[in-house]
Amino acid sequence: MQLEEILTPQRCYCRMDWSSKKRILTKISDLLAGQNLAIEPEEIYTALMAREQLGSTGLGNGIAIPHCRVANCQEIIGSLITLEQAVDYDSIDGKPVDLLFVLIVPQERSDDHVKTLAGLAEMLSDEDFCFTLRTTNDSEDLYNIAITY
């Protein structure tokens, strides 16, 4: 997986001050839909929340990969987010989350969805890489660090 195929500088958000899981999913839905993706924010939010209802996408160690498939989505869309303060995310280890990678995938691309999730999980299991992302103070730097991994 080449991260620059799904991530753009405009979809990297550094040190956001979002105070809850619901707020994170609402804000990222609005931001992604606002980038002319032909997807309504409610569509993204509803799909992300439906996935969370199946089980938290909080992986542990302060990391979450909220993801969903959306019918009107034309390409795989990624968004990398760091939070100013970690928030409760119902993670499997009970720890709050401060590093997220949101993944929106076209409805019909199930295989790509699974492969991309696996690649992201592997990338975010690298503690040094995550430390570097967490200590970055600029959204453009966040993007550049991510794509050079």
pLDDT reported for residue 64: 98
pLDDT reported for residue 2: 83
Q: Which is catalytic among the residues 67, 83, 89, 116? A: 67
Number of helices (H) and strands (E) in the chain: give both, helices first: 5, 6
- Identify whether 67 is a catalytic site residue: yes
Tell me the mean pLDDT per 10 residues along the chain, length 149. 90 96 96 86 96 96 96 91 97 97 88 85 95 97 95
pLDDT reported for residue 112: 74
- The answer to whether the CB of 146 falls within 8 A of the CB of 12 is yes
CATH of domain 3-147: 3.40.930.10
Q: Pairing relation of β-strands 63-64 and 97-106?
A: parallel
pTM value is: 0.94
pLDDT reported for residue 36: 67
